[in-house]
Amino acid sequence: MVETFALDVLGALQPALPHLLRASDAKEIAAAVALVNQIVLKFKGSVAASVSPVVAALSAAVFAQLAALEGAVAAEVGGGGRASMSEGARERHALLRGYFTFLHSLVHCDLAAVLCDANNLPLLDAALGRLLQGCVEGPDLTLQRQCFAVLQKLVEHLGGADETFDTYIRERMLPACFGALSQPHFRLADAAALQLLEAVAALQVAMLAKLGRPFAAHLHDVYLPQQLQCSPAFCDEYAALLAAGEPRALRDFLRSHLLAAGGGKS
């Protein structure tokens, strides 16, 4: 009975939602995302068909609102304002946090396929772009970790099945793993830093599991030595740890090298 009620709610939302969202502000859109998120958490994969068009409408509204907020924040910066303290900046952060939480719920409730179906595939590139941005943008390390966790589930769902997406993994997701650790706000003394490191490691383990030897060769022979200027010894040890498939061992390796290099200031 309760599940039927949830399906009825989604069915009622579906035709009206695009119109309602067009007239909504950031807080109202965030509230709509939170409402659907609760339904997803409650009913998980059983709402796949009915939630798909709702996800598409919510995503489109979120992206449009974010673009408007970012335009306003940029204008404020150009005018000498303090964007980091502005209402627009706070609304942007709240909307992103709610949207990333929603994506996290989808992929952890057997609904990752929804993000790749006919309704949502046109929006997937924009969603991935926002997730990659969330992986490196601070100062909320917990939110960054959540973004990496979403990417991991998407890699597990799509990796190895489509060469275009595999290229995206190598060229966009892999750099984000290391870019997150080089940001000024990343400090190993932060209680959430170790969890972020583990999420970074877990994503790379998933990349290797889905893409196999070509990914390992790219990481060892191209990305680490050419892009990050890593030594042959570092490349060998990193590749061996990654191949072992234990994220915590790779996490600890990264942590020790960051400490030794003075990165991720403690």
Residue 156 lies inside a defined structural domain of this protein: yes
Provide mean pLDDT across the span 10-17: 82
Of 13-22, 137-146, 199-208, the poorest mean pLDDT is in 13-22
Using left for φ > 0, alpha for ψ between -120 and 50, and beta otherwise, residue 222 falls in alpha
Mean pLDDT score of the chain? 92
Where is the domain boundary, 86, 119, 152?
A: 119
pLDDT digits (tens, 9 = 90+) for 129-187: 999 999 999 899 999 999 999 999 999 999 999 899 999 999 999 999 999 999 999 99
Same-domain check for residues 114 and 151: no
Q: Which of 225, 122, 215, 209 lies closest to 174 in space, CA to CA?
A: 215
Are the CB atoms for 136 and 176 separated by under 8 Å?
A: yes
> Which residues have C-beta within 8 Å of that of residue 227, sequence separation ≥ 6?
175
Distances (CA, A) of 114 to 23, 49, 137, 151: 25, 8, 26, 14
Separation of alpha carbons 104 and 205, rounded Å: 19
pLDDT digits (tens, 9 = 90+) for 240-261: 999 999 999 999 999 999 988 7
Same-domain check for residues 163 and 42: no
| Cα Rg, the chain, nearest whole Å | 20
Same-domain check for residues 150 and 265: yes
Same-domain check for residues 27 and 70: yes
Residue 244 lies inside a defined structural domain of this protein: yes
Q: Give yes or no for residue 15 having a pLDDT over 60.
A: yes
The residue with greater pLDDT, 221 or 81, is 221
Same-domain check for residues 64 and 147: no
Residue 124 lies inside a defined structural domain of this protein: no
Are the CB atoms for 146 and 100 separated by under 8 Å?
A: yes
Same-domain check for residues 157 and 265: yes
Same-domain check for residues 13 and 54: yes
Residue 232 lies inside a defined structural domain of this protein: yes
Same-domain check for residues 87 and 169: no
Where is the domain boundary, 71, 90, 119?
A: 119
Residue 2 lies inside a defined structural domain of this protein: yes
Domain range spanning residue 243?
140-266
pLDDT digits (tens, 9 = 90+) for 103-138: 999 999 999 999 999 999 999 999 999 999 999 998
Residue 216 lies inside a defined structural domain of this protein: yes
Q: How many domains is the chain built from?
A: 2
Residue 135 lies inside a defined structural domain of this protein: no
Same-domain check for residues 104 and 195: no
pLDDT at residue 78, as a whole number: 66
The DSSP line for the chain is: -HHHHHHHHHHHHHHHHHHHHHT--HHHHHHHHHHHHHHHHHHGGGGHHHHHHHHHHHHHHHHHHHHHHHHHHHHHHHTT--GGGSHHHHHHHHHHHHHHHHHHHHHTTT-GGGGGSTTTHHHHHHHHHHHHHHHH--S-HHHHHHHHHHHHHHHHHHTTT-HHHHHHIIIIIHHHHHHGGGSTT--TTSTTHHHHHHHHHHHHHHHHHHH-HHHHHIIIIIIIIIIS---HHHHHHHHHHHHHT-HHHHHHHHHHHHHHHT-S--
Same-domain check for residues 94 and 152: no
Residue 241 lies inside a defined structural domain of this protein: yes
Same-domain check for residues 1 and 63: yes
178: tokens are 């290391």
Separation of alpha carbons 155 and 249, rounded Å: 21
Separation of alpha carbons 46 and 5, rounded Å: 13
